[in-house]
């Protein structure tokens, strides 16, 4: 009985303690302050169709590049220099060949010329043999046949007379046998002459065939002689030299590597999915960097898409053609009305020991000019041998220095031709070890509409008059246009040019093999819908949702809206956008304010405060 009373007392005490604790808890909750609103940033929801802008890098490679060699063996006499632009040989026959084609290399053709002369002699011998045999057929053998026929007729008459006399016993039997033998012999001689005529006619056919054979050998020898000069089958630029003058090369040995410079190809890698977007003929924007460091926009056309993926990277190679152009961005012409001359080379004066082994002052033949009977060279005054030149400084200051040519043409390596000179003006200081001179001068049109380039042709030296070299006059120039107001400028050549500035020309292509280009990839067809930044989408426990602002009540809260994310994404600048659709109808509508920053710290119904509008209209 006491035990039951004790239990009732304990239970009553526990109930009282529980009620007391509950009251304290409710009292604490009632006095606790509200949680402050959480700061967020929002974006206004609108239906859009953003384009997926993606870029990738590609490598510039030549479309055509070939190691070109001779079809005949021989010793190399001349080879073109690297980086030279070449004009192709279009025709295959001698009468179809391009007259201004650029020779890449030449062989020593003495042996080939001897072979041509020998083949010509063989043709003439074959013709003479044919003509001699024709005389035998038409004159000698017919006369011989007529003579044999006459002798045979006479022998038949004598045999008839002898037979008649033999029947009359007027001659002996031996005389009759002699007449019979003579008649048979003359008939055999006639048959032999006819056989010789048939044989001569057959020989005539063989001699005609020999003439054809000799002519074919002559054609082969002439072809070998023509092939002693090497040409390129396509326009381009010399990228590598494999032989120097004096090298003996066999048939097919590479001598020069030529690569096509316009157009160039750009190759870039894409995934299997992206590779199906591209078709032959699609146009893509390409960004490259020019010589001055500025970005240039070009257009490329898809040439092919590989049908087999790279097994290591699992990517497909897309190749496209891009038109190339000469990059002249590095040239800064001075702002002056004075015409600027151009040259493609400057050379020192101390190359005599290298060429001839003596101390003569040798210059290339094109560097010597003649005006009014005076021969001179252009000395560079703002650049010297052994002194570093300022980077990017291509403008040369020059002065005219009179000279006298003292030697005939001196060939060097089959490519250059030098002459020895002496300076005739003692008042002009010359430092042979450090001074530089220009090469051939020419003038470029100063307006895009000018169709003519004025050139100063190099003098041709003719060592015929008592061993004295003669320098030919400068050819007539053309009329160009002025860079100011597009007015025609006066006749411009060395005779009228009074300037003292020469631009050192160095043609460089904008696209070179090995350069890196930036390609704007083709986007998928834009799909309309609601696009939000990726950071606005949240996923928990397998459900995807976003938070929108709900201001229907007295306070601004975050309301959770469950959505589905469509396959694919879109990139706008540096922001990744996702296309969303609501799981319930009419949950998403234009004009809603979607929480972007801070959505990962919110619960449904939390109070919020908008701090900044970020993203604008996605």
pLDDT of res. 153: 86
pLDDT of res. 453: 43
Q: What is the mean pLDDT of the chain?
A: 79
Burial of 496 (C-beta count, 10 Å sphere; 0-12/13-18/19+) = exposed
The pLDDT of residue 6 is above 60: no
Give the Å distances, CA to CA, from 143 to 197, 276, 384. 11, 88, 90
Q: DSSP alpha helices (H): ranges in 227-297?
A: 272-275
Q: Does residue 62 lie in a domain region?
A: no
How many Å apart are CA 406 and CA 461, to the nearest integer? 11
> Are both 41 and 89 inside the same structural domain?
no
pLDDT of res. 27: 45
Taking alpha carbons only, the member of 257, 255, 247 closest to residue 229 is 255
The pLDDT of residue 481 is above 60: no
> Are both 420 and 480 inside the same structural domain?
yes
Give the Å distances, CA to CA, from 577 to 42, 438, 567, 569. 15, 61, 12, 6
Q: Does residue 479 lie in a domain region?
A: yes
> Are both 407 and 431 inside the same structural domain?
yes
The pLDDT of residue 96 is above 90: no
Phi/psi of residue 76, each to 5°?
A: -70, 130
Highest mean pLDDT among 58-72, 156-170, 513-527: 58-72
pLDDT of res. 98: 67
CATH number of the domain bearing residue 539: 2.40.420.20
The pLDDT of residue 215 is above 80: yes
Residues in contact with 36: Cβ distance below 8 Å, sequence separation at least 6, in sequence order: 607
Q: Give the pLDDT mean for 584-599.
A: 86
Determine which helix (DSSP H) or strand (DSSP E) holds 58, and give its type and residue range. strand 54-62
Give the Å distances, CA to CA, from 522 to 56, 268, 279, 306, 455. 11, 13, 11, 17, 46
Residue-range definition of the domain harbouring residue 92:
67-106+229-259
The pLDDT tens digits for 364-375 are 888 888 877 788
Taking alpha carbons only, the member of 228, 227, 232, 226 closest to residue 87 is 232
The pLDDT of residue 545 is above 50: yes
> Are both 558 and 499 inside the same structural domain?
no
Reported as a pLDDT band with limits 50, 70 and 90, residue 482 is very low
The pLDDT of residue 120 is above 90: yes
The pLDDT of residue 567 is above 80: no
What is the pTM for the complete model shown? 0.64
C-beta of residue 106 within 8 angstroms of C-beta of residue 230: yes
The pLDDT of residue 64 is above 50: yes
How many percent of the chain have pLDDT more than 90?
A: 18
Q: DSSP alpha helices (H): ranges in 136-226?
A: 141-167, 173-226
> Are both 90 and 115 inside the same structural domain?
no
Which position has the higher pLDDT, 17 or 476? 17
Give the Å distances, CA to CA, from 497 to 340, 403, 456, 501, 605. 9, 19, 11, 10, 86
Q: Does residue 5 lie in a domain region?
A: no
Taking alpha carbons only, the member of 298, 305, 301 closest to residue 283 is 301
CATH number of the domain bearing residue 238: 2.40.50.100
pLDDT of res. 310: 87
> Are both 386 and 434 inside the same structural domain?
yes
The string of DSSP letters for 311-365 reads TTT--EEEEEEE---B--TT----S-SS--EEES-EEES--HHHHTSS---EEEG
pLDDT of res. 17: 54
The pLDDT of residue 74 is above 70: yes
Enter the tokens of residue 18: 């529980």
Which position has the higher pLDDT, 212 or 357? 212
Helix (H, G, I), strand (E, B) or coil at 238: strand
pLDDT of res. 571: 59
> Are both 492 and 532 inside the same structural domain?
no
Q: Does residue 18 lie in a domain region?
A: no
The pLDDT of residue 19 is above 90: no
Q: Which of 195-204, 462-471, 579-588 has the lowest mean pLDDT?
A: 462-471
How many Å apart are CA 369 and CA 421, to the nearest integer? 12
Which position has the higher pLDDT, 344 or 212? 212
pLDDT of res. 479: 33
Q: Which of 111-120, 142-151, 448-457 has the lowest mean pLDDT?
A: 448-457
Q: Does residue 296 lie in a domain region?
A: no
Burial of 127 (C-beta count, 10 Å sphere; 0-12/13-18/19+) = middle
> Are both 460 and 590 inside the same structural domain?
no
C-beta of residue 549 within 8 angstroms of C-beta of residue 559: yes
Sole residue written with tokens 């067809």: 525
How many Å apart are CA 430 and CA 424, to the nearest integer? 11
Residue that terminates a domain, selected from 243, 259, 275: 259
The pLDDT tens digits for 255-305 are 999 999 989 999 999 888 888 888 898 898 898 988 778 888 899 999 999
Helix (H, G, I), strand (E, B) or coil at 113: helix
Total of domains in the chain:
4
Reported as a pLDDT band with limits 50, 70 and 90, residue 492 is low
Determine which helix (DSSP H) or strand (DSSP E) holds 19, and give its type and residue range. helix 2-31
Residues in contact with 301: Cβ distance below 8 Å, sequence separation at least 6, in sequence order: 281, 282, 283, 284, 320, 321, 322
Q: Give the pLDDT mean for 529-538.
A: 88
Helix (H, G, I), strand (E, B) or coil at 426: coil
Angle between helices 173-226 and 141-167 in degrees, nearest 10: 170
The pLDDT of residue 527 is above 60: yes
> Are both 83 and 120 inside the same structural domain?
no
Q: Give the pLDDT mean for 132-158.
A: 85
The pLDDT tens digits for 454-464 are 444 433 334 33
pLDDT of res. 122: 92
The pLDDT of residue 33 is above 70: no
Enter the tokens of residue 557: 């809260």
Q: Which of 12-16, 450-454, 544-548 has the lowest mean pLDDT?
A: 450-454
Residue that terminates a domain, selected from 237, 259, 281: 259
pLDDT of res. 323: 93
How many Å apart are CA 152 and CA 146, to the nearest integer? 10
The pLDDT of residue 59 is above 90: yes
pLDDT of res. 615: 41
> Are both 355 and 410 inside the same structural domain?
yes
Reported as a pLDDT band with limits 50, 70 and 90, residue 577 is confident
pLDDT of res. 374: 83
Which position has the higher pLDDT, 130 or 7? 130
How many percent of the chain have pLDDT more than 70?
A: 80
Phi/psi of residue 78, each to 5°?
A: -155, 140
Q: Does residue 331 lie in a domain region?
A: no
Q: Does residue 3 lie in a domain region?
A: no
Reported as a pLDDT band with limits 50, 70 and 90, residue 470 is very low
How many Å apart are CA 420 and CA 409, to the nearest integer? 8
Q: Does residue 24 lie in a domain region?
A: no
> Are both 500 and 376 inside the same structural domain?
yes
Burial of 172 (C-beta count, 10 Å sphere; 0-12/13-18/19+) = exposed
> Are both 493 and 551 inside the same structural domain?
no
The pLDDT of residue 450 is above 50: no
Q: Which of 180-184, 430-434, 443-447 has the lowest mean pLDDT?
A: 443-447
How many Å apart are CA 7 and CA 311, to the nearest integer? 83
pLDDT of res. 407: 84
Reported as a pLDDT band with limits 50, 70 and 90, residue 16 is low
Cα-trace Rg, the chain:
49
């Amino acid at each position: 009985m006491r035990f039951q009373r004790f239990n009732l007392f304990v239970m009553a005490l526990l109930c009282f303690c529980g009620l007391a604790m509950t009251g304290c808890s409710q009292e604490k909750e009632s006095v606790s302050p509200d949680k402050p609103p959480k700061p967020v940033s929002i974006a206004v929801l609108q239906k859009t169709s953003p384009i997926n802008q993606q870029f990738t890098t590609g490598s510039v490679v030549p479309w055509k590049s070939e190691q070109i060699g001779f079809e005949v063996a021989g010793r190399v006499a001349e080879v073109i220099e690297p980086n030279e632009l070449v004009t192709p040989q279009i025709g295959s026959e001698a009468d179809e060949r391009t007259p201004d084609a650029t020779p890449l290399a030449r062989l020593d053709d003495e042996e080939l010329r001897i072979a041509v002369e020998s083949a010509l002699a063989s043709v003439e011998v074959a013709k003479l043999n044919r003509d001699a045999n024709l005389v035998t057929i038409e004159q000698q053998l017919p006369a011989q046949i007529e003579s044999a026929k006459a002798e045979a007729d006479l022998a038949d008459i004598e045999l008839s007379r002898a037979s008649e006399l033999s029947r009359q016993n007027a001659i002996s039997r031996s005389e009759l046998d002699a007449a019979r033998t003579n008649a048979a012999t003359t008939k055999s001689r006639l048959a032999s002459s006819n056989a010789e005529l048939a044989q001569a006619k057959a020989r005539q056919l063989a001699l005609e065939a020999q003439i054809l054979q000799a002519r074919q050998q002559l054609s082969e020898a002439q072809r070998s002689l023509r092939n002693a000069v090497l040409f390129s089958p396509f326009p381009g630029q010399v990228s590598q030299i494999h032989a120097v003058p004096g090298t003996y090369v066999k048939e097919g040995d590479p001598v020069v590597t030529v690569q096509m410079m316009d157009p160039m190809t750009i190759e870039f890698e894409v995934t299997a999915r992206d590779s199906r977007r591209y078709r032959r003929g699609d146009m893509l924007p390409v960004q490259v960097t020019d010589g001055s460091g500025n970005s240039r926009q070009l257009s490329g056309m898809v040439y092919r898409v590989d049908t087999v993926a790279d097994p290591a990277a699992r990517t497909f190679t897309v190749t496209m053609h891009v038109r190339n152009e000469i990059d002249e961005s590095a040239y800064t012409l001075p702002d002056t009305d004075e015409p600027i001359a151009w040259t493609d080379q400057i050379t020192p004066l101390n190359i005599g020991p290298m060429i001839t082994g003596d101390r003569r002052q040798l210059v290339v033949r094109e560097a010597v000019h003649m005006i009014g009977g005076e021969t001179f060279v252009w000395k560079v005054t703002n650049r010297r041998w052994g002194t570093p030149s300022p980077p990017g400084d291509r403008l040369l200051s020059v002065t005219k220095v009179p000279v006298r040519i003292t030697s005939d043409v001196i060939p060097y390596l089959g490519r250059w031709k030098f002459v020895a000179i002496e300076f005739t003006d003692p008042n002009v200081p010359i430092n042979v070890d450090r001074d530089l001179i220009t090469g051939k001068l020419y003038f470029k049109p100063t307006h895009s509409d000018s169709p003519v380039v004025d050139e100063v042709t190099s003098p041709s030296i003719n060592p015929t008059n008592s061993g004295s070299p003669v320098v030919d006059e400068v050819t007539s120039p053309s009329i160009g246009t002025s860079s100011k107001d597009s007015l025609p400028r006066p006749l411009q050549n060395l005779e009228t040019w009074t300037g003292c500035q020469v631009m050192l020309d160095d043609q460089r292509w904008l696209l070179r093999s090995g350069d890196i280009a930036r390609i704007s990839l083709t986007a998928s067809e834009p799909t309309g819908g609601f696009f939000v930044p990726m950071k606005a989408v949240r996923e928990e426990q397998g459900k995807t949702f976003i938070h929108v602002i709900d201001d229907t009540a007295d306070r601004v809260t975050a309301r959770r809206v469950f959505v589905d994310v469509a396959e694919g994404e879109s990139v706008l600048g540096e922001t990744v956008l996702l296309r969303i659709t609501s799981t319930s109808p009419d949950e998403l509508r234009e004009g809603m304010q979607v929480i972007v920053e801070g959505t990962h710290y919110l619960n449904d119904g939390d109070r919020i405060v908008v701090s900044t509008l970020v993203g604008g209209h996605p």
